[in-house]
A and B are shown apart, each in its own frame.
Chain A
Amino acid sequence: MGTHIYHYNMHAEKRYFLGPEHHSLYDMIALNGNIVSHTAEGVAGFLATAGKEFYIDPQTHAFQHATIHLKRDISDKEAGEPRKYEFKPSIKKLARERLGGAFSSVIDNDKPIEPTAFLDSNGKIRKEAIDTICQSVGNFQLNTMLDELDDEAKEFIGEASNLQPKFVVAPYFYLSPHRWREWLQINIACYNRTKALFTGLPTYLALVTSQEVAEKHEEIVSAICTVKPDGILLWIESHVEETLAESQVEDYIKLLQGLRKAAGTIYNCHGGYLSVLLCHSDAGTLLDGMAHSMNYGEHRAVVPIGGGLPMAQFYLLSVHSRLRYADAASIIQPKGWLKSVGQYRENVCMCHQCQELLNEKGGAEAAFVEYGRSNPVTITRRSGAIVRLEYPTKGAKQAATRHYLYNKAKEFDDVQKKSFSELLENLQNTYNEITSDSGDSFVSHLLTWHKGLDGSIS
């Protein structure tokens, strides 16, 4: 069975991790280095309550991009001041107090890390530089929370082993399209050194790559085969599974088939239902698990991008995609699936959240409307143009998040209980059923996944 991992991005999301109704929906917690560094005690308390296995992503790649991505605008907008940036306090703390060395220099010099920090003029690894960051990055993951706790908190949390991650993530850098060979060489050196330094726990290699580089899978796999890592954390940048072409699905599978020969465990850090299917034993268990966030996170760019206005969304289980609410309604309503509770439960969803709404509101239509509740907002764009949009209510966002989490758990459950061929057939059946009324705009990925999986996995 695939390990179902939740990213814990902010403390406000705690409610979706705790309590009997949520606790059974997932297996492991992925913490980001920033939140551990900035609020170590709060994270320790949360982990003690959650009682789940976890790992800490040290986010070392963040320091190789343009430093603007590590900063915030502190200008007084109301006074019309020009934009003025400074490093975010949490990033400063992570770099200076936790990771040190080359990471601290990024803050001091306001310049990103380059491969030359770890490679000499002949392209050989500078062992001392690698050793320094492996020590600090490993220690950060193993000791930060313990070091921050006072005696009272330690007593509350109990055994120190409750705050030990399942594995240590070696320092890693993004395999950018132009310098990926240098970064891969550095990542492998970091893996080897971390593995030697921290013998008590498994060591994982993070493979964070652009889609372009991921397509050169043979060279990457062959380099990784030389070290046979205990585990791999895979993150293909902006890998939106719903938009992949058939050839890209095949490339993804080939990459995983290659990595499968090299690594003990492979987790995809940002994946959707295609990745869940690849956890199936009939598919060769190409993945051992997959992670996503509360608010989706099934794909992610390496460099943070602006969030924009949140919009009401609805995860339609049969389509295995989180659709904008109106798009989901444009499929569900013409099909007549809102006419009765029975139709809704049979065709749309029978999760705990939907059932609660069906009971509370007394009908399918009234229940579904709750996911689209919104308030109008007026936005003035920089051009001066005024746009009126709708902003989901807090209740609608919470209901949509819970509904999403129940459905993701169902997908993992289905992969365990149903045959791979049945799951593939379901993709085709849903495609046929929905295109007959609504066209294939929102379901074409089902056919692409079906073809890609059918062609690559025998």
Chain B
Amino acid sequence: MTMCEKTIVNAVVNALACRGFRYVATEVANFYRSADIGAIDNEGKIWAIECKVSSIGRAIEQSKTHKLSADKVFIATFRKNTREDTLSKIREAGIGLLYVTPDGSMSEPVEEPKENSPWSLARERFLTRIMEGV
């Protein structure tokens, strides 16, 4: 993870904590990948968030693994003019998009993720990893 990505991670972690998320952990193992952030919101839904400065296409691929385990999957990046074709790939993959501003605040989702039905056993496993990482 680069320093810039770390800035995004910190911004998102702070924003989620402010919004009353029950648990927020960073670098959460999820099968052979690591989710930058794993969190449990106040409705008990599990979020997996990949933080990226660039290479959004790669983040979309990585996020597909997280869809097996999390109720909501997001990519978080710095606020910018995301290209329309990238946005449509994000929509197609059923992933949400969050923007972080240079002052460290996080936007409401630019794209809402589709309703995801994770595999119950994978969800349970990811939940355990989040709790271990808190």
Q: Tell me whether A and B are bound partners.
A: yes
What residues of chain A have their CB less than 8 Å away from a CB belonging to chain B? 309, 311-312, 324-327, 329-330, 333, 365, 369, 372, 374, 376-377, 385-390
| B121 nearest CB neighbor, chain A only | A369
Contact flag A388-B34 (CB < 8 Å), given A329-B119, A329-B122, A369-B121: yes
Most buried by B among A330, A333, A388, A390: A388
The 10 closest A-B pairs by CB, nearest first: A326-B31, A311-B32, A388-B29, A376-B29, A333-B119, A388-B27, A326-B65, A390-B29, A385-B1, A388-B34
Interface size class of B (residues with CB under 8 A): 10 to 19
| B61 nearest CB neighbor, chain A only | A441
Confirm or deny: B28 has a beta carbon within 8 angstroms of a beta carbon on chain A: yes
| B27 nearest CB neighbor, chain A only | A388
Compute the total of residue contacts between A and B using a CB distance below 8 Å. Answer: 54
A355 to B31, CA, bound (A): 24
Contact flag A324-B34 (CB < 8 Å), given A330-B65, A330-B68, A376-B129: no
Determine chain B's interface SS by DSSP, over half rule: mixed
- In the assembled complex, how far is the CB of residue A438 from the closest CB belonging to chain B, in whole angstroms? 9
Most buried by A among B28, B30, B31: B31
Chain A residues near B1: list those with CB within 8 A. Answer: 385, 387
Confirm or deny: B33 has a beta carbon within 8 angstroms of a beta carbon on chain A: yes
- In the assembled complex, how far is the CB of residue B9 from the closest CB belonging to chain A, in whole angstroms? 11
Confirm or deny: B67 has a beta carbon within 8 angstroms of a beta carbon on chain A: yes
Chain A residues near B34: list those with CB within 8 A. Answer: 387-389
- B28, A388: Cβ atoms closer than 8 Å: yes
Chain A residues near B31: list those with CB within 8 A. Answer: 311-312, 324-326, 372, 374, 390
A47 to B1, CA, bound (A): 48
Chain A residues near B65: list those with CB within 8 A. Answer: 326-327, 330
Chain B residues near A390: list those with CB within 8 A. Answer: 29-32
A324 to B30, CA, bound (A): 12
A372 to B126, CA, bound (A): 13
Chain B residues near A326: list those with CB within 8 A. Answer: 30-33, 65, 68, 122
Confirm or deny: B114 has a beta carbon within 8 angstroms of a beta carbon on chain A: no
Chain B residues near A385: list those with CB within 8 A. Answer: 1
Chain A residues near B129: list those with CB within 8 A. Answer: 376, 388
